[in-house]
Structure 1
Amino acid sequence: MVRENEGKLGITWPVRELSCEQEEIKNEALNFAKSKIEERQKGIFVIGGQAGTGKSVLVTALFNEIQAACKDKSSIFSGTNNYVLVNHPEMLKFYKRVAGESPMLLKKNFDRPTSFINRIHKSVEQVDIVIIDEAHLLLTKKDAYNHFYQENQLQEILKYARIVILIFDNKQVLKAKSYWSKQKLVAILGGDNVKIRHLQEQFRIEANTDVQNWISDFCSEKIDQLPAKQKFDFRIMNDAKRMYELIKTHEKTVGLSRLLATYDFPYRLDGNDYFVKAGNLSLRWDRSKPQESLAWAERADTIDEVGSVYTIQGFDLNYAGIILGPSLGYDEQLDKIVVRSELYEDQAAFNGIKHLGTNIEAAKERLILNALNVLLTRARKGLYIYAVDSKLRKKLLQN
């Protein structure tokens, strides 16, 4: 069981018990896979759910049950060849660690989509079940930088897998090259042999619904009155260094507490340190350490760093301090948040955006707001926000 102060990063085997909703959807996915194997048909099972609805916990339990049945000669899953794919290096570390703690799982059955696709193309291997966590991160166009040379990762996986189970949240799409619309998903999946279910219950944020509603509205460019005081510690900060001190205090007492920032500060993968500068605070961005077996927020040294959306997506924290950079401002006349995409440092996120066939600026704003949503939905026990833009900070403090 997971201890009370642990999030996904602190998980140990066995994983925590599933809720009734998770158990029901897990069983539906299993029965769906069984029926497709018996009928010798292809099938796609989509599990939707917003941040904090327990998608990755469900994936772990589902795959563990499939792999246990794989070793049972009397099971329909006996001898099947199955994989979990995730297009996120930190999440892959998490799954491989879970595999190392489970008697039923092997690390080799967890992989990145590109590695899987490139290997399967060479071997022309047919697989039975592929579960894709964070499927909203699948590439929807060529990406030579990541060694993907086909047109769409989901389409490639569907060529070689009999059953695909997708874990999907369209509010967590962060790049134009993995931009998914409902129309695109439906076009790829088709209407036959497809089942879609949604997780609704929130497990991460230990707060009243007014906090969740405030975050949702904020990520839609609206600023509501602050939620009423409650057990969940929600604060707007006027001092970035003070916010960092609070986070360090929580790290000492309950752990899993980190600073995060919108991608509004320069960063390069060249081995040098780059810094997030917000008010009276200057702290380095997270250092790239792909060889580390532990995820970023698990490592003790990262309390001295600021995490990005790419570092923390998919994971829980106990307390999160969020720095809103210059790309997020406030329009006093319209009384709404202003998104300045030209100030967003992750301009690579917009590569290929002209080919989406939609309003380019609106699409850029949507990607930035999706990234904001990921950051603001990490915390279980407390969330602190500091805005670099003085007008936005003033407005938030007034509320």
Structure 2
Amino acid sequence: MVLFPTKLTSFELIKKTRKEFEQMDFKDLDIDTVPVVYIQLDKKNLYVGKSTDIYGRFSAHLKDISKTFTEIIIIKSDLFNESSIKHIETLLIDYLLADSKFNLLNKIKGQNIHSYNGIEDVNNMFVKIWDKLIEEGIASEQLKEIHNKFIYKYSPFKVLSANQIEVCQDILAAMLTTSESRHLITGDPGTGKTIVLTNILYALVYDQTTGKDREGLDREEVALIIPQNHSLSSYKDLIRKVGLHGITVLSPSQFIKKAKGKDDKFKYVFVDEAHRLKQYFGKQARDLKHLITADGHTTELELISDYAYHLTVVYDQYQTIRPADIDTAHFKQLTVDYKKHILRKQFRLKSGDQYLAWLRKYLQIADDVAVYEKGLLKGYEFKVMDSISELYEAIKKLNNDYELCRVVAGYSWEWATQKDENLHDITDPVTGDEFKWNSKTKGWINKENSVEEIGCIHTTQGADLNFVGVIFGEEIDCDYAGEEDGSYDLNKAKIKVNPEKYKDRNGLPIKGTDLNNEELNSYIKRIYYVLLSRGINGCYVYATNPNMQKYLKGIVSISQ
């Protein structure tokens, strides 16, 4: 038994064996009929629970043939009550799943935690509990490391908001009580669209009342579609680790090919990041053959819908960034009869709900929400740097402190190192320092050397970073309307693009089809919107174009 005497974080860790609980006539009065949290484990598996009658609870566990535990760790504290043990149980389920040292057997999510008297004390206590679990060999990774993991961020064991719960319940009810349904989940980056999706998937497979597999459900009839290849392996790993193995996880083209070979449609289909689903685009004809039909072309959304009884798609209209992505207007037309579910509250960015509307306003994407500039960036580390080198060094330093901090850039430089790694791609116009693009695309964010490189949009969309550094390339510029006193009116500035400086061949509309570069202008501004919304704690920027650099400094100065 170990005691931490500090009042606000004091707890006991008591070790028991299975044999001790098999001898029910010998009860430990220290743990009998008091609120406790427990961890059962054997060599490979663990199970987390809570109880105010642990001996009564374990009489059921001992009869369960799936529970092969040999050891029990019991966590007890004088601070514990019904609320706090629910809280600790939920935290342990979430973190031990992401830690991955043991296979987590829990099939019912932890409970939603509402504010209660002493919640901060329990949060402080949990840090000490976790350190002790590492010492005991039950956990292996520090909390800071776990916070950066994909499985932790998108785990279906996450506590949801009332809005998120309502969306999950609404969609799940439709899938379980009707023969066919169509759902569209929308919301800004950071509103929890992916977490809602994983929660629906989990609740579909596991009955959350019993914790058992849902009766009559065949996992092979459930498919999760991920349009972004760089994220596909992360989703597959998540699905496997949370006990959803057997569910089909594929790219859109892989799913369409598989579905064509089936006798019947998939029963339940989910699409994350649906703004990256494809329409036919001549420049990428070789990769989009599956969209050719007898009388023309179709879209991936239409084909996926043809092969699904129940379809749920997650979509952000401001993240369509290439001509091959389904046009926003066409996407809205295709989903006009879908049931709409809007997620509104921002959970990821410490900048608050208004930051994304601020980005849309000053990137001139949309002016859909009133923005009150003064103080908007307070509490969020948004800085305009004076060179690529300064930005790069700042992000590297932050990465040493926080991990998962990366530099990214607009696609304004050729990818020379793709053919010869001895070359360089990007030169700082101020210092002359040389830098390289991402050496890989798939999984680049988590590669060991990615902090040494500069990522592009195709490595970053959909990712969360602690801090992001964004380099504006020469493909984006800004025209100012000068005033008589020599100053500039930010509201009269006009963002424009330079097609000759944009190096993403598949990102350029077909020559002669884009009047006044309006389509390209839209794509490039949306790319920067995505890049600038990746940083949870802050965003550092630098523009190689002097006018754009001046514009960035201007909008930041009025918003701090």
TM-score tier, shorter chain, comes to: 0.7 to 0.9
225-234 or 302-311, which moves further after superposition? Answer: 225-234
The answer for the alignment partner of 1:275 in structure 2 is 425
Q: Alignment partner for residue 286 of structure 1, among 429, 438, 448? A: 438
| Structure 2 counterpart of 1:96, from 228, 236, 250 | 236
Task: State TM-score, norm by structure 1.
Answer: 0.87
CA-CA distance at 1:230 after TM superposition: 2.8
- Counterpart of 1:177 in 2: which secondary structure? coil
Q: Does 1:146 align with 2:287?
A: yes
Q: Which residue of 1 aligns with 2:401?
A: 253
Residue 171 of structure 2 corresponds to residue 29 of structure 1: yes
Q: Distance in 1 between matches of 2:331 and 2:493?
A: 35
Q: CA deviation at 1:75?
A: 4.0
**Which of 300, 314, 320 is matched with 1:167 structurally?**
314
Residue-by-residue CA offset, 1:11-38 (whole Å, 9 max, x unaligned): 275642222221111111111212323x
- Which amino acid is 1:67 matched to? V
Question: Mapping of 1:282-361 within 5 angstroms?
Answer: 282-288=434-440, 290=442, 295-333=443-481, 334-351=492-509, 359=515, 361=517
Structure-2 change in CA distance of 1:227 and 1:275 (3 Å): farther
Partner residue, 2:548 = 392
What is the percent sequence identity of the aligned residues?
21
Q: Quote how far apart the aligned CAs of 1:190 are.
A: 5.2
| Residues 26-54 of structure 1 deviation map (CA, whole Å, 9 limit, x = unaligned) | 111111212323xxxx3210001121211
Deviations 1:148-178 (A, max 9, x none): 4222111111111111101011100011121
State the distance in 2 between where 1:201 and 1:169 align. 14
Residue 247 (structure 1) shift: 0.7
Residue 343 of structure 2: aligned partner: 199
TM-score, normalising length from structure 2?
Answer: 0.63
Q: Is the 8 A contact 2:175 2:181 kept in 1?
A: yes
Q: 1:100 and 1:72, CA in 2 relative to 1: closer, same or farther beyond 3 A? A: closer
Q: Which has more radius of gyration?
A: 2
**Aligned-pair distance for 1:208?**
4.0
Give the aligned partner of residue 110 of structure 1: 249
RMSD across aligned positions (CA): 2.9
User: Mean alpha-carbon deviation: is it higher for 327-336 or for 71-80?
Assistant: 71-80
- Asked if the contact 1:234/1:383 (under 8 Å) is kept, the reply is yes
Tell me which residue corresponds to 2:199: 61
Give the alignment of 1:117-132 within 5 angstroms: 117-132=256-271
Q: Matched residues in 1 for 2:165 and 2:545: separation?
A: 44
Shift in alpha-carbon separation, 1:208–1:144, aligned structure 2, 3 A: closer
Query: Per the alignment, in what secondary structure is the counterpart of residue 231 of structure 1?
Result: coil
Query: Alpha-carbon deviations, 1:166-198, whole Å to 9, x = none?
Result: 10111000111213224x23443453xx31111
What amino acid sits opposite 2:269 in the alignment?
Answer: V
Cα distance in 2 between the residues matched to 1:237 and 1:270: 28
1:214 paired to 2:358: yes
Q: Secondary structure at the match of 2:496?
A: strand
Listed as ranges, the gaps of 5+ residues in structure 1 are none
Q: Does 1:19 align with 2:167?
A: no
- The answer to which of 119-128 and 25-34 deviates more is 119-128
Residues 332 and 351 of structure 1: CA distance in aligned 2, closer, same or farther (over 3 Å) = closer
Residues 353-395 of structure 1: CA distance to partner in whole angstroms, max 9, x if unpaired? 877xx85621211111111110010000011010000122134
Say if 1:207 and 1:232, in contact at 8 Å, map to a contact too.
Answer: yes
**Residues 271 and 30 of structure 1: is their aligned pair in 2 closer, same or farther, counting only changes over 3 Å?**
farther
1:93, CA displacement in angstroms? 1.8
Matching residue of 1:133: 272
Per the alignment, in what secondary structure is the counterpart of residue 28 of structure 1?
helix
- What is the one-letter code of the residue matched to 2:239? A
Shifted more, 265-274 versus 212-221: the winner is 265-274
Question: What SS does the corresponding residue of 1:92 show, helix, strand or coil?
Answer: helix
Deviation (angstroms), 1:104: 2.8
The one-character-per-residue Cα deviations of 1:188-247 (angstroms, maximum 9, x if unpaired) are: 3453xx311111111121024554343222221799978566332111111221211111
Residue 185 of structure 2 corresponds to 47
Partner Cα separation in structure 2 for residue 261 and residue 162 of structure 1: 40
> Tell me, what secondary structure is at the counterpart of 1:370?
helix
**Could you tell which deviates more after superposition, 70-79 or 379-388?**
70-79
Structure 2 unaligned segments of length 5 or more: list them. 1-93, 96-142, 292-297, 482-491
Deviations 1:259-289 (A, max 9, x none): 0101111126954345222332421111125
Q: 1:299 to 1:198 in 2, by over 3 A?
A: same
CA contact (8 A) 1:72 1:78 kept: no
Aligned-partner residue type, residue 202 of structure 1: Q
Q: 1:343 to 1:148 in 2, by over 3 A?
A: same
| Closer/same/farther in 2, CA of residues 114 and 74 from structure 1, 3 Å limit | closer
Deviation at 1:300, TM superposition (A): 2.0
Structure 2 distance, partners of 1:229, 1:269, is 37
Q: Does structure 1 retain, via aligned residues, the 8 Å contact 2:405–2:465?
A: yes
One-letter amino acid matched to 1:130: V
Look up the SS of the partner of 2:420 in the other structure.
coil
Query: Which one-letter code corresponds to 1:104 in the other structure?
Result: L
Which structure is higher in RCO with an 8 Å CA cutoff and minimum separation 6?
Answer: 1
Amino acid at match of 2:438: D
Separation in 2 of the partners of 1:226 and 1:126?
53
Amino acid aligned to 2:427: K
Equivalent residue letter for 1:243: L
Any idea what SS the aligned residue of 2:550 has? Answer: helix
CA distance in 1, matches of 2:213, 2:379: 50
Secondary structure in 1 matching 2:313: strand
Q: Which moved further from structure 2: 344-353 or 242-251? A: 344-353
